[in-house]
Amino acid sequence: MLAKIEQLLQEVENITASNADELEALRIKYLSKKGAINALMADFRNVPAEQKKEVGMKLNELKNRAQERIAELKDAFDSKDTGAAELDLTRTAYPIELGTRHPLNIVRNEIIDIFGRMGFTIADGPEVEDDWHVFSSMNFAEDHPARDMQDTFFIESHPDIILRTHTSSVQSRVMEVSQPPIRVICPGRVYRNEAISYRAHCFFHQVEGLYIDKNVSFTDLKQVLLQFAQEMFGPETKIRLRPSYFPFTEPSAEMDISCDICGGKGCAFCKYTGWVEILGCGMVDPAVLEANGIDSKVYTGYAFGMGVERITNLKYKVKDLRMFSENDTRFLKEFESAN
């Protein structure tokens, strides 16, 4: 038995194969159920008791070496195949089709870049928030409709923990730990309990901005927003501010831009008004400053917020909001040139 094992060990050490078929034949010869090594193992029961330990060790050595040798030859074939593929001069320069940036990312990055050049830095915060940072610190009354289950996702086991409905919660966190001057933008995903349709979704994206310092005025806000609109939509873009209401700003306004399709003359896209709404803004309410540890007698500030989907719709005329989250590669390919 020992002589047969030694003979097979020598054979295994010297086996070679020039192709995959030869290698498979060698595997069958030595390692299959009917192979030479299994035949020796079947005959192991006839080995005298005093030799079983030595013969058993030799058998295991033979089997392990055969497996290692077959694996070495297989790895050699794989390496040769890879090398040949790398040197295949008939392959195209770009065999894998390149992807594209998502349209929301394209527009969000453009918004961040515009405000970054005006001195705004990026602030970030958690999407799962507490009631204080989302509502109370932003001057929302206890009975405000936004707190209702129809608008807000609450964590069932912790009613004070919610999915943020706006990125104003990030502004609150910044004001808690910073003293003016504060100049930040807060991009991020937000959630609202709304029915999904072509014009609404249960999640979407916002970019909100906050500037707090001494002697900040509404005129400063208007100039920043005009600069943003003209860089985003073109130098001929006009803006108008209409009185509105938000709990965290006073006075508050909605901002419209002149329709870039009809040039302000009126068309179906702007509902024949010549104007398209894009964001909300206003002067930070003194109650919000005080709630977040900033002296409203010394400092003033402004805030604004816009939906990234809204801006993307205006730039690229995407009519169905659901397209942004369906991962349809045909839709995404339309934005290759926008990268």
If you write DSSP's letter for every residue of 73-139 in order, what string do you get? HHHHHHHHHHHHHHT-TTS-S--S------HHHHHHHHHHHHHHHTT-EE----SEEEHHHHTGGGT
If you write DSSP's letter for every residue of 259-272 in order, what string do you get? -TTTTTS--TTTTT
Q: Roughly how many angstroms between the first and final C-alpha of the chain, as a whole number?
A: 71
Contact by Cβ (8 Å): 247, 280 = no
Task: Give burial (CB, 10 Å; 0-12/13-18/19+) of 288.
Answer: buried
Q: Which strands form 158-163's sheet, in the order they lie side by side? A: 128-130, 158-163, 154-155
Contact by Cβ (8 Å): 186, 170 = yes
6 appears as a binding residue in the annotation: no
Structure token digits, residue 142: 């206890």
Return the number of other C-beta atoms located less than 10 Å from residue 157's C-beta. Answer: 6
Q: Which residues are annotated as a binding site?
A: 250
Q: Which residues are annotated as a binding site for Mg(2+)?
A: 250
